[in-house]
Amino acid sequence: MSKANYNAHSSPLFKCRGILKLPDKYDHQLSVKAYNFIIGKLPQPLMRMLKRNTNIHTLSTRQVSNEKVRSFVYKCSEKWSTLNKCMMSALNERVFRIKAKKYLINNY
């Protein structure tokens, strides 16, 4: 497919073809879910299950701006906090997906 040697490093091959590795695909999906959570576009069952810390209490604490509620939300918030600020302000999910994928691939 790529005519590379059998022992060639995979990262440059993935980067050249714009393909995410499996762990990065997982991170990409977490980032998209976090984006959808922030803009309120997750399916209603998930939105009812998850809450922002700002909706739980009004105390001004260090954790009030973090999105840590359950493990799914914790992982999403952890991934969200590593993203570039300009990605967070994407106008729609499609633009966010493209920017997030480019960001992950550029780390190879």
Interval 64-81: pLDDT, tens: 555 444 567 677 778 878
Residue 3 falls inside a structural domain: no
Residue 38 falls inside a structural domain: yes
Say what the pLDDT of residue 69 is: 46
Residue 64 falls inside a structural domain: yes
Is the pLDDT assigned to residue 41 strictly greater than 50?
Answer: yes
Nearby residues of 4 by Cβ (< 8 Å), 6 or more positions away = 13
What the block records as the tokens of 67 is: 């999105």
Residue 1 falls inside a structural domain: no
Is the pLDDT assigned to residue 53 strictly greater than 60?
Answer: no
Let me know: does 17 contact 2? Beta carbons within 8 Å: yes
Residue 2 falls inside a structural domain: no
Residue 15 falls inside a structural domain: yes
Residue 101 falls inside a structural domain: yes
Q: Could you tell me the pLDDT band of residue 62, with boundaries at 50, 70 and 90?
A: low
Let me know: does 103 contact 67? Beta carbons within 8 Å: no
What region, left, alpha or beta, does residue 15 occupy, with left being phi > 0 and alpha being psi -120 to 50 degrees? alpha
pTM of the model: 0.71
Say what the pLDDT of residue 71 is: 65
Supply the range of the domain harboring residue 36.
10-105
Report how many domains make up the chain.
Answer: 1
